[in-house]
Amino acid sequence: MKANKAKSNQGLQFYKTDISKTTKVALVGSPIHAGFPSPAEDYVDLSIDLNKELIKNPSSTFLARVKGLSMKDVGIHENDILVVDKSLEAFNKCIAVCFIDGEFTLKKIKVERKCLYLMPANEDFKPIKVTELNDFQIWGIVTYIIKKI
């Protein structure tokens, strides 16, 4: 998966996706069990195209590199790469890239009666209540998180 750096904002760095080339990676033929070990297989017999696996809507998908710690309690950390799809509809409890009052932020969407909140996943940060006074847009929904272990 090739990505070209597009632009940066305080909390996120954005990249356009380029799926013009296939990126195939070897895939082990049987699942890797996270419980008890299974007999080892000595070969890899399949491949997977990461572009097709991670990017369902190429024209509306971009990558973003995370800066900051506001989402650490849901496993999103500094320098993780997000796959974000702008064509998806937001829903309660989804993780979204939002644009509010001139800034991009990554938060969980919380819908209550007639209120919308942007919820951090770190107790050191406060929720943001979105009102009609805010310049606000849900820019895209996070579909995958890519991280270095």
Q: Any idea which residues carry the catalytic annotation?
A: 70, 107
Cα separation of 107 and 147, whole Å?
A: 18
Rounded Cα distance between 100 and 118, Å, is 10
CA distance 80 to 125: 19
Helices and strands (DSSP H and E) totals, the chain: 1, 11
Give the span between the Cα atoms of 149 and 146, in whole angstroms.
10
Q: Calculate the CA 56 to chain-centre distance.
A: 13
